[in-house]
Amino acid sequence: MNDGNEYSLIPPYLMDTNGAQTESEQNQRTYGVLSFNKRRKCWTVKGDPTVTELCKRLFPGTDTNRRGEARFTAHRRIVGDLNWLMLRYPLIVKKQDISRWEAALAEAREYVVKRELAFRMPERVAPNPTTFMGKLTSFQEEGLGFLLRTERCLLADEMGLGKTVQALAMLSETGEYPAIIIAPPHLMRNWENEIDRFVKKPNGEPLAVHVIRGLTPYQLPAADIYLMHYLLLRGWKEALPEMGIPTVIFDEIQELRRSGTEKYSAASLLAEGAQRVVGLSGTPIYNKGAEIWNVINILDFHLLGDYDSFTREWCYGYGNQIVAKPDLLGERLRSEGIMLRRTKNEVLKDLPPKRRLVMTIDSDDAVYKRLMQPVAETIFQLRHMTDDVNGSQRALWEMEIERSERQASGIAKAPYVAQFVRALLDAEEKVLLFAHHHQVMDIFKKELHSFSPAFITGRETPAMKERSVERFMTGRTNICCISLRAAAGLNLQRASCVVFGELDWSPAVHSQAEDRAHRMGQTDSILCYYLVSKGGSDQDVQDALGLKVSQFVGLMGDEPQTQTDALIGAQAAKQYVERLVNRLVSEAV
């Protein structure tokens, strides 16, 4: 901060002042004593009721229920508030805390200067290629700069702009391990895959990742990153804060938008003890005051005041849920440097016409095994067949096994696909959901009933199909479920996301499905999610398509399907069937 121009960015309330005096500098009236409480990590004011009562009225969280005492959290923003208070009511700084106060004030000034400079010219940071294996776009590099600059913040980029990869780039830069990532259950596997793909240790070794399981705490093994889903937080409420984890990432932090639960209380305690706390959400809900207040309070305690004061001043009265001026609140969060949000329209120039992401989700192994049980008899017959005698019968049975296995795979993961799509719909995305089997579509109909989905599955009459298209295109529903082989000729360019709940052997089939949304003249960037599970047929289909986690290493067939494409798909399916049958036969022995 030696640059004179930077010094000019320091606001008056952070300027040098005679307000804070040592015990030997009592050249003007003082109103109390300022000291640091090491155990509580806070600054304590003890003095005249004039000052302590004012503190408790102006600064939420300072009330200690003790007469003549107020406490200020040792936070850069709050240190600035305390310095402002001392401009009017000078305090004596205890001798042993003078150097600590001067350092805290210098840090607060530096933070404000960096924040102001970032507003004028956002800082872009390219991650270290030794520890980060990916490449960021320019707006993602700005996001990384924001995350590195602000230890407690909300990255609220619109869905599909890479919040996960920006957070992992931050971890690769800070090296502040161990870190803990709290995520919804259906995103746990994806975090495992993304960590393995993007982040390494400086020596090139993979990070040690441990997935925390169960509600009962146990001795955790040493790890660089711990993964846990929100439903387990309540069981680990007391155990996690004791670990002293320096970095906490709350993915889809809107999961904490309701206070008063054990989950919320556990998250609050975990965040309180961490040095760096990052929330990720594409749906920052700040038109409902209670919800955004709860989220921000996890990240930065009482940044928006206490709840009653917040609803009184920002909403339509005490306890009211609705924010009167959402845009003003959003500006407040951005000006405080706690929130960064970019929409797809703002960064469209940095996005390709299609963005394809392969996301790993869970599947129900018990359901898969139950559905595959009837195949056991066919496998028994195959074990006693010879190709030269029963070739045609064997081929028919192999096809039936393959059909049963793909259907079992789709049904086993369908509820998790629905969870993923529900998050997109909550974010007001317009979704085309593709699948193959009718039983899978029936699960989608049940799981997504509240969103009133439209269906084009091959079971509808032409009039019903036309009505489904009309409902989606006119906005009466934001989701249309379509059979992979029934997509030809449809014009559904209102869609912002395409989701594949099941996969086909042919790349061109997927490309044709994508093009239901990405039509001629489309200026938007369409986000295409390929949802795969580790069980069942997905891994083999994935390999045949050339799909890798979060990227495509080959072309996806962006041209209409040719006869050669169909033959390649058929060959891939045949090879898969041979491997599948051999595996199932060997397991049955």
pLDDT confidence tier of residue 286, bands split at 50, 70 and 90: low
> How many CB atoms sit inside 10 A of residue 424's CB?
23
Q: Out of 178-182, 274-278, 282-286, 317-321, pick the least confident.
A: 282-286
Residue 127 carries which DSSP code? Answer: P
Mean pLDDT of the chain: 82
Q: How many CB atoms lie within 10 A of CB 543?
A: 13
- Residue 65: exposure state from Cβ atoms within 10 A (0-12, 13-18, ≥19): exposed
Looking at the predicted structure, is the pLDDT value of residue 372 above 90?
Answer: no
Helix/strand/coil for 355:
strand
Tell me if 501 sits within 8 A of 410, measured CB to CB: yes
pLDDT of residue 181: 98
Q: What is the CA radius of gyration of the chain?
A: 29
Can you tell me the distance from the alpha carbon of 284 to that of 282, in angstroms, rounded to the nearest whole number?
6
* Angstrom distance (rounded) from CA 161 to CA 140: 8
CA atoms within 13 A on the CB side of 364: 15
Pairing of strands 276-280, 179-183: unpaired
Q: Which of 219-233, 437-451, 491-505 has the lowest mean pLDDT?
A: 491-505
DSSP result, 472-511: HHTTS-SEEEEEGGG-TT---TT-SEEEESS--S-HHHHH
The answer, yes or no, to whether residue 284 has pLDDT greater than 80, is no
State the Cα–Cα distance between residues 333 and 324, nearest whole angstrom: 15
Secondary structure element (H or E) that encloses residue 278, with its range: strand 276-280
- If you average pLDDT over residues 249-263, what whole number do you get? 92
The pLDDT tens digits for 135-172 are 999 999 999 999 998 889 999 998 778 899 999 999 99
Please give the residue that has the higher pLDDT: either 110 or 237: 237
* Alpha helix positions (H), 336-386: 365-372, 375-383
C-alpha pair distances (Å), 261 with each of 82, 227, 264, 343, 453: 32, 21, 5, 31, 32
Indicate the range of 71-75, 244-248, 467-471, 569-573 predicted with least confidence: 569-573
Q: Which of 534, 537, 536, 559 is nearest to 549 (CA)?
A: 534
Tens digits of residue pLDDT in 449-466: 999 999 998 888 888 888
Residue type, 232: L
User: Is residue 100 over pLDDT 60?
Assistant: yes
The helix (H) or strand (E) run that includes residue 453 is none
Which secondary-structure segment (H or E) carries 275? none
H or E element that contains 584: helix 563-588
User: Across residues 113-117, what is the average pLDDT?
Assistant: 79
| Range 107-129 average pLDDT | 82
Give the confidence band of 213 by pLDDT, cuts at 50, 70, 90.
very high
Distance CA 71, CA 35 (A): 10
CB 102 within 8 Å of CB 20: no
User: Taking the mean position of all CA atoms in its chain, how far away is CA 21?
Assistant: 46
Residue 477 — φ and ψ, nearest 5°? -145, 150
Are 524 and 496 within 8 A, CB to CB?
yes
Residues sharing a CB contact under 8 Å with residue 291, sequence separation 6 or more, in sequence order: 254, 257, 258, 285, 321
pLDDT recorded at residue 550: 46
Question: Model confidence at 278, in pLDDT bands (50, 70, 90)?
Answer: very high
Mean local confidence (pLDDT), 260-282: 93
Secondary structure (DSSP) of 15-84: S--SSEEETT--SS---EEEEEETTTTEEEEEE-HHHHHHHHHHSTT-B-SSTTEEEEES-HHHHHHHHH
Phi and psi torsions of 177, nearest 5°: -105, 155
Task: State the distance between the two ends of the chain, measured CA to CA, in whole angstroms.
Answer: 74
Tens-digit pLDDT profile for residues 383-439: 666 555 556 666 666 667 777 888 888 999 999 999 999 988 988 889 999 999 999
45-64 pLDDT per residue, tens? 999 998 999 988 888 778 77
Residue 451 is predicted with a pLDDT of: 95
What was the pLDDT predicted at 561?
42
At 25-47, the pLDDT tens digits run 556 788 999 999 988 888 999 99
Residues 90-108: what's their mean pLDDT? 92
Q: What is the 3-state secondary structure (H, E, C) of 206-273?
A: ECCEEECCCCCCCCCCCCCEEEEEHHHHHHHCCCCHHHCCCEEEEECHHHHCCCCCHHHHHHHHHHHC
Mean pLDDT is lowest, of 6-15, 157-166, 220-229, 374-383, for 374-383
Q: pLDDT tens for residues 343-354?
A: 887 887 877 777
